[in-house]
């Protein structure tokens, strides 16, 4: 490969071969490294961070990890097709095949397929034998020279973790001109079993001898997968996840809220009284400010899910959940997409590609929009703070607000399971099980920097993507609510008039027209609810001191039953345009998104009505 | 005897795949190391029908009964 200015290097390898970590090392780009098989669904790219001038323009492409070039799941098909297309279109200057040198045979089975394919397309390839540091620790030998001669390609021992061998790898890339002709005759056989035999022979001849001790992994597994301790620890971990959203984020949320209030108290008096001042106070600080308060929670949620992923626990959680999820028509592999759905339905829908059965994947799609996503969090948080006191129970161990949050999250998850259980029982085809095969990654301490960067990135995305919609909706709501009487009375404004029309729809569960307007606007994106409500309360309370939206809701005299109905409505309704669009893209038709949107709206309305009457009856 | 019959802490060699196994899974299992002649250890059997953990070379996989019972061991 010459050092042409637009060199593109593809990184390919099996899940858990350390490929993404190597990519991070080579590019300095903090692409998230997930410790779960096949989590990298999109192809990440990054420029080389090598100090030497001539290779500064090298671009690395991180292809999703696959076990083989023969796909058995939808996700693999997409990843493999992406790689083959790049080869066909002559986009790649070289391919780095990453193998785990501690598990050489498995890596070589894949590497032999890659060599064969690269030979076909005449693209240079080299093998990066990763995790050499682990072999060094155990004083194990790896004969890279011998393997290199046997395969007629360069084999470089590296450690993506410590950085060993990375300079050699970069240098080898700079002048890699691989003569691939030999592969076809000597090494590669078209018959898969001969391919395995070759890999086995090569691994035995050149790979490390003896078994690596994975006692720590076994010890931890015997705890986390224990018949009852495993289940118990699963519930504790999930509970802590939801508590952390409140307890860890609370001080930062308070700080953001205080900052917004302080900023409003400084900025608003400077602007001459009138339309501009009212707009700044109601729409900017009232509407957008109310939404910004929840950003720390999004960050904490992403961080905690990231920690679970990186530590290797998520794969164990999938094992624990497999049997119970089977009862609900799903598989253990549905757990990861569903948990990702707790952060956001969109990555959850993408992650559902890892579910190899088409039918189970379809059922997983039904479940994901009901998972309590982070866009629901501001709404839940607002309603809970308005009704549940911030008191602690059991000597400060449990917070009532956290407990309420746990309950509403559990409600969403139960709804998801109920739907899949019912739908899967509707046809014999959907009931059929497919095999469950999942690699258990080693346990490891999460790397904090990429996790924090990922959390910040998601929070930033939340602000910029949802923020644009919220800003637009807030401005429209403010204009409609402010005119024609210049904020004198919200009830007599254009918005008030429109609100009266829709009031009958939401009145049956105790909500006045303002909540009706906020719910309608939230069909664009759920978070809009908070901004819309903030703007309307801002107009209504013009001239008063800045108080938190939760406090304003409290003071507005919203009945408890209506609050509970709101929670239930938001837990079920599919108010997210992006989710519908991604579902359409993944399924190739509008049929499923349209069906889900209509049925979940009806389900949400009926359940909210039921909840309102239940609470009114009990209280 | 099938792989699913292995109890925690025991190991055996794969003898063959049952004919009812889908070819895609057969190939994949072979690629992961579950091929005839390979020594497989059952490292964890959580019970209550949960998938069991099997060690092949230096990798641990989790397989449920629907697939582990299609791999014959001796």
The string of pLDDT tens digits covering residues A450-471 is 788 778 877 887 777 767 777 7
Local confidence band at A432 (pLDDT 50, 70, 90 cut-offs):
low
CB contact under 8 A, A106 and B31: yes
Q: Compute the nearest-CA separation of A192 from chain B (Å).
A: 8
Tokens found for residue A309: 């992923």
Tokens found for residue A210: 């003896």
Q: Is the pLDDT of residue A189 over 50?
A: no
Q: How far apart are CA B24 and CA A607, in angstroms?
A: 43
CB contact under 8 A, A105 and B33: yes
Q: How far apart are CA B54 and CA B40, in angstroms?
A: 7
Q: Tell me whether A68 touches chain B (CB under 8 Å).
A: yes
Tell me what pLDDT residue A132 has: 92
Q: How many domains does chain A have?
A: 1
Question: Is residue A227 within 8 Å of residue B48, measured between CB atoms?
Answer: yes
Question: Is residue A354 within 8 Å of residue A369, measured between CB atoms?
Answer: no
- Give the closest residue to A462 by CA, choosing from A364, A377, A381, A570: A377
Average pLDDT (A367-393) is: 86
Q: How far apart are CA B21 and CA A206, in angstroms?
A: 33
Pick the residue of A436, A441, A443 with the most B CBs within 10 A to test the interface with B by mutation. A436
Q: Compute the nearest-CA separation of A223 from chain B (Å).
A: 10
Q: Is the pLDDT of residue A184 over 60?
A: no
Listing DSSP states for A514-542 in one string gives: HHHHHHHHTTTBTTHHHHHHHHHHHHHTT
Q: How far apart are CA A249 and CA A255, in angstroms?
A: 10
Q: How many CA atoms lie within 13 A of A392 on its CB side?
A: 8
Q: How far apart are CA A497 and CA A513, in angstroms?
A: 9
- Give the closest residue to A310 by CA, choosing from A158, A413, A449, A409: A449
Secondary structure letter of residue A186 according to DSSP: I
Task: Name the average pLDDT for chain A.
Answer: 82
Tell me what pLDDT residue A177 has: 56
- Give the closest residue to A202 by CA, choosing from A151, A249, A130: A151
Average pLDDT (A406-423) is: 93
Give whichever of A50-54, A108-112, A297-301 has the largest mean pLDDT: A108-112
Pick the more confident residue, A524 or A38.
A524
CB contact under 8 A, B32 and A437: yes
pLDDT, tens only, A213-237 = 566 788 899 899 988 899 899 989 8
Tell me what pLDDT residue A316 has: 92
**CA B68: distance to chain centroid?**
5
- What proportion of chain A, given as a percentage, has pLDDT over 90? 21
Tell me what pLDDT residue A419 has: 95
The DSSP bridge partners found for residue A516 are none
Local confidence band at A498 (pLDDT 50, 70, 90 cut-offs):
confident
Q: How far apart are CA A326 and CA B50, in angstroms?
A: 10
Tell me what pLDDT residue A593 has: 92
Q: Compute the nearest-CA separation of A104 from chain B (Å).
A: 9
Q: Is the pLDDT of residue A188 over 80?
A: no
Average pLDDT (B46-66) is: 89
Tokens found for residue A413: 């998850």
Question: Which residues are within 8 A (CB) of A479 and not within 5 positions of it... i.e. 6 or more apart?
Answer: none
Of residues B27, B29, B48, nearest to A70 (C-beta): B27
Question: Is residue A359 within 8 Å of residue A429, measured between CB atoms?
Answer: yes
| Residue A414 maps to a domain | no
Q: Compute the nearest-CA separation of B74 from chain A (Å).
A: 20
Listing DSSP states for A413-446 in one string gives: HHHHHHHHHHHHTT-HHHH-----EEEEPPP-PP
Task: Give contacts of A325 with chain B, Cβ < 8 Å.
Answer: none
Tell me what pLDDT residue A518 has: 86
CB contact under 8 A, B53 and A440: yes
Tell me what pLDDT residue A183 has: 47
Q: Is the pLDDT of residue A34 over 50?
A: no
Tell me which residue has tokens 């029908």.
B49
Residue count (chain B): 74
Tell me what pLDDT residue A42 has: 59
Tell me what pLDDT residue A483 has: 83
Q: Is the pLDDT of residue A19 over 60?
A: yes
Tell me which residue has tokens 């904490």.
A300
For strands A155-157 and A125-130, give the pairing.
Answer: parallel
CB contact under 8 A, B32 and A225: no
Pick the more confident residue, A446 or A233.
A233
Q: Tell me whether B58 touches chain A (CB under 8 Å).
A: yes
Task: Specify the DSSP element, H or E, that contains A43.
Answer: none
Secondary structure letter of residue B5 according to DSSP: G
Of residues A102, A217, A440, nearest to B62 (C-beta): A440
Listing DSSP states for A280-328 in one string gives: IIIIIIIIIHHHHTTHHHHHHHHHHHHHHHHHTHHHHHHHHHHHHHHHT
Listing DSSP states for A539-602 in one string gives: HHTTTSPP--HHHHHHHTT--HHHHHHHHHHHHH---BHHHHHHHHHHHTSSHHHHHHHHHHHH
Q: How far is CA A434 from CA A70, A405, A438, in A?
A: 18, 34, 13
CB contact under 8 A, A103 and B57: yes
CB contact under 8 A, A212 and B58: yes
Q: Is the pLDDT of residue A395 over 70?
A: no
Q: Tell me whether B13 touches chain A (CB under 8 Å).
A: no
Q: Compute the nearest-CA separation of B68 from chain A (Å).
A: 9
Local confidence band at A444 (pLDDT 50, 70, 90 cut-offs):
confident
* Residue A86, domain CATH: 3.40.50.300
Q: Is the pLDDT of residue A383 over 80?
A: yes
Range(s) of the domain holding residue A33:
8-206
Q: How far apart are CA B26 and CA B68, in angstroms?
A: 11
Tell me what pLDDT residue A3 has: 45
Secondary structure letter of residue A618 according to DSSP: H
Q: How far apart are CA A434 and CA A355, in angstroms?
A: 10
Of residues A70, A193, A437, nearest to B63 (C-beta): A437
pLDDT, tens only, A575-613 = 887 788 778 877 888 899 999 999 999 999 999 999 999
Tokens found for residue A457: 């990135």
Q: Tell me whether B4 touches chain A (CB under 8 Å).
A: no
Local confidence band at A273 (pLDDT 50, 70, 90 cut-offs):
confident
Q: Is the pLDDT of residue A241 over 80?
A: no
Q: How far apart are CA A331 and CA A424, in angstroms?
A: 12
Task: Specify the DSSP element, H or E, that contains B34.
Answer: none
| Residue A368 maps to a domain | no
Tell me what pLDDT residue A130 has: 94
- Give the closest residue to A559 by CA, choosing from A498, A615, A503, A516: A615
Tell me what pLDDT residue A413 has: 93
Q: Compute the nearest-CA separation of A481 from chain B (Å).
A: 57
Of residues A106, A196, A320, nearest to B59 (C-beta): A106
Q: Counting one residue from A and one from B, how many pairs have CB atoms under 8 Å apart?
A: 110
Q: Tell me whether B9 touches chain A (CB under 8 Å).
A: no
Tokens found for residue A593: 């998104």
Quick check: helix, strand or coil at residue A329? coil
Task: Give contacts of B32 with chain A, Cβ < 8 Å.
Answer: 67, 106, 437, 439
Local confidence band at A543 (pLDDT 50, 70, 90 cut-offs):
very low
Question: Is residue B28 within 8 Å of residue B22, measured between CB atoms?
Answer: no
CB count, 10 Å around CB of A53? 8
Q: How far apart are CA A47 and CA A49, in angstroms?
A: 6
Q: Where are the domains of chain B?
A: 3-73
pLDDT, tens only, A398-408 = 678 888 888 99
Q: Is the pLDDT of residue A539 over 80?
A: no
Q: Is the pLDDT of residue A29 over 60?
A: no
Tokens found for residue A289: 């400010």
Pick the more confident residue, A140 or A249.
A140
CB count, 10 Å around CB of B67? 24
Q: How far apart are CA A475 and CA A283, in angstroms?
A: 6
Point out the least confidently predicted range of A192-201, A421-430, A434-443.
A192-201
Tell me what pLDDT residue A97 has: 95
Q: Is the pLDDT of residue A201 over 80?
A: yes
Q: Tell me whether A193 touches chain B (CB under 8 Å).
A: yes
Q: Is the pLDDT of residue A390 over 90?
A: no
Task: Name the average pLDDT for chain B.
Answer: 91
Task: Give contacts of A226 with chain B, Cβ < 8 Å.
Answer: 46
Q: Is the pLDDT of residue A428 over 80?
A: no
pLDDT, tens only, A310-354 = 888 988 999 999 988 989 999 888 987 898 788 778 778 877 877
CATH superfamily of B3-73: Ferrous iron transport protein A (FeoA) (2.30.30.90)
Q: How far is CA B1 from CA B69, B70, B74, in A?
A: 9, 10, 7
Q: Tell me whether B37 touches chain A (CB under 8 Å).
A: no
Question: Which residues are within 8 A (CB) of A64 and not within 5 positions of it... i.e. 6 or more apart?
Answer: A38, A40, A41, A42, A43, A75, A78, A79, A82
Pick the residue of A437, A438, A441 with the most B CBs within 10 A to test the interface with B by mutation. A437
Which burial class, exposed, middle or buried, applies to A494 when counting CB atoms under 10 A from its CB (0-12, 13-18, 19+)? middle
**CA A60: distance to chain centroid?**
23
Local confidence band at B14 (pLDDT 50, 70, 90 cut-offs):
very high
Tell me what pLDDT residue A418 has: 95
Listing DSSP states for A104-164 in one string gives: HHHHHHHHHHHHHHHHHHT--EEEEEE-HHHHHHTT----HHHHHHHHTS-EEE--TTT-T
| Residue A550 maps to a domain | no
Q: How far apart are CA A482 and CA A488, in angstroms?
A: 8
pLDDT, tens only, A37-68 = 444 445 667 777 664 545 457 888 888 888 88
């Amino acid at each position: 490969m010459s050092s042409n200015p637009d060199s593109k290097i593809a990184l390919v390898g099996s899940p858990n071969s350390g490929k993404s970590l190597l990519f991070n090392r080579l590019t300095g780009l903090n692409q998230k490294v997930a410790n779960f098989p096949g989590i990298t669904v999109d192809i990440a790219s990054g420029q080389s961070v090598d100090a030497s001038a001539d290779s500064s323009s090298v671009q690395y492409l991180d292809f999703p990890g696959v076990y083989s070039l023969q796909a058995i799941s939808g996700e693999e098909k997409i990843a493999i097709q992406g790689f083959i297309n790049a080869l066909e279109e002559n986009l790649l200057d070289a391919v780095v095949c990453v193998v785990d040198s501690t598990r050489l045979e498995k890596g070589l089975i894949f590497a032999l397929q890659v060599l064969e394919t690269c030979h076909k397309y005449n693209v240079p390839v080299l093998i990066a034998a990763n995790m050499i540091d682990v072999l060094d620790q155990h004083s194990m030998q790896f004969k890279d020279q011998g393997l290199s001669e046997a395969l007629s390609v360069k084999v470089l021992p590296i450690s993506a973790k410590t950085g060993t061998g990375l300079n050699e790898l970069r240098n080898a890339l700079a002048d890699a001109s691989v003569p691939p002709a030999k592969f076809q005759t000597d090494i590669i056989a078209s018959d898969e079993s001969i391919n395995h035999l070759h890999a086995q022979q090569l691994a035995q001849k050149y790979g490390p001898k003896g078994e690596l001790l994975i006692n720590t992994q076994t010890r931890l597994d015997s705890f986390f997968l224990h018949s009852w301790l495993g289940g118990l620890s699963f519930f504790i971990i999930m509970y802590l996840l939801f508590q952390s959203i409140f307890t860890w984020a609370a001080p930062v949320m308070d700080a953001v809220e205080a900052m917004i209030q302080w900023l409003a108290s400084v900025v608003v008096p400077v602007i001459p009284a009138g339309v501009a001042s009212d707009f700044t106070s109601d729409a900017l600080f009232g509407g957008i400010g109310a939404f910004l308060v929840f950003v720390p929670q999004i960050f904490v949620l992403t961080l905690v899910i990231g920690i679970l992923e990186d530590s290797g626990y998520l794969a164990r959680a999938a094992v624990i959940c497999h049997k119970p999820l089977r009862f609900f028509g799903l598989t253990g592999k549905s757990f990861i997409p569903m948990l990702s759905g707790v952060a956001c339905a969109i990555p959850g829908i993408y992650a559902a590609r890892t579910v190899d059965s088409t039918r189970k994947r379809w059922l997983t799609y039904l479940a994901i929009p009901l998972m309590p996503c982070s866009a629901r969090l501001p709404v839940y948080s607002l309603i809970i703070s308005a009704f549940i006191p911030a008191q602690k129970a059991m000597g400060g161990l449990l917070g009532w607000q956290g407990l309420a949050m746990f309950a509403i999250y559990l409600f969403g998850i139960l709804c998801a399971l109920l739907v899949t259980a019912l739908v899967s029982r509707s046809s014999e085809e959907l009931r059929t099980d497919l095999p469950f095969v999942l690699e258990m990654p080693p346990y490891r301490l999460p790397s904090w920097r990429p996790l924090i960067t990922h959390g910040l990135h998601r929070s930033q995305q939340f602000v910029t993507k949802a923020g644009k919609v919220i800003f637009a909706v807030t401005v429209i709501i403010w204009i409609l609510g402010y005119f024609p009487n210049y904020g004198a009375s919200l009830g007599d404004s254009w918005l008030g008039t429109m609100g009266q029309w829709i009031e009958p729809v939401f009145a049956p569960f105790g909500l006045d027209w303002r909540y009706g307007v906020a719910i309608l606007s939230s069909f664009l994106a759920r978070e809009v609810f908070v901004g819309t409500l903030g703007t309307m309360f801002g107009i209504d309370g013009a001239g008063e001191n800045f108080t938190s939206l939760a406090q304003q809701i409290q003071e507005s005299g919203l009945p408890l039953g209506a609050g509970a109905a709101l929670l239930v409505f938001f837990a079920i309704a599919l108010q997210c345009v992006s989710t519908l669009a991604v579902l359409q893209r993944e399924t190739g038709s509008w049929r499923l998104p349209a069906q889900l949107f209509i049925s979940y709206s009806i389900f949400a309305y009926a359940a909210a009505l039921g909840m309102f009457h239940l609470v009114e009856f009990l209280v | 005897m099938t792989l699913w019959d292995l109890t925690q802490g025991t190991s055996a060699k794969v003898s063959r795949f049952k004919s009812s196994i889908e070819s895609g899974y057969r190939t994949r299992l072979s690629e992961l190391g579950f091929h005839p002649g390979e020594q497989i250890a059952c490292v964890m059997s959580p019970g209550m029908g949960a998938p069991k953990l099997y060690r092949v070379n230096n990798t641990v996989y989790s397989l449920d009964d629907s697939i582990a019972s299609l791999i014959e061991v001796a």
